[in-house]
Amino acid sequence: MSSWDEATTRSIVVLGSTGSIGRNALDVISRHMDRFMVLGLAGARNIALLAEQAARFKPPYLAVLDANRAKELRDMLPAGYSPEILVGPDGYAAMAGL
């Protein structure tokens, strides 16, 4: 008997979503969208990839390390999608606590 409740959707936050482990995690999640909901994504350097991931998964929260990156990210997001963008170490800490 598995402890996994197939009727339950798990909310996931991926810190470092643009790195190799984060990309692999999102690949697995994308194959099981009925089981997982991406609640947040955080990325440090590859803002273009973070924007692509955000457009695909539409999480309500994103996190980046500095305000300039936050503006750059906001400008790359699709029209009509406006997640809360958390900034800096405090933003990452808040994301980890979701």
Quote the CA–CA distance of 23 and 40 in Å, as a whole number. 14
> What is the fold of 10-96?
Rossmann fold (3.40.50)
CA-wise closest residue to 45 among 20, 77, 11? 20
Amino acid 31: pLDDT: 95
In the chain, domain spans: 10-96
Give how far Cα 9 sits from Cα of 19, 74, 86, Å.
24, 28, 24
What distance in Å separates the CA atoms of residue 92 and residue 21, rounded to the nearest whole number? 17
For residue 29, is pLDDT > 60? yes
Is residue 15 pLDDT above 50, yes or no?
yes
Quick one: what percent of the chain has pLDDT higher than 90?
89
| Reported pTM | 0.90
**pLDDT at 1 exceeding the cut of 50:** no
- The answer on pLDDT for 3 being more than 70 is no
The percentage of residues in the chain with a pLDDT greater than 70, rounded to a whole number, is 93
The answer to whether residue 19 scores a pLDDT higher than 70 is yes
Give Rg (Cα) of the chain.
14
Residue 8 has pLDDT above 90, yes or no: no
Spatial separation of the C-alpha atoms in residues 77 and 98, rounded to whole Å:
22
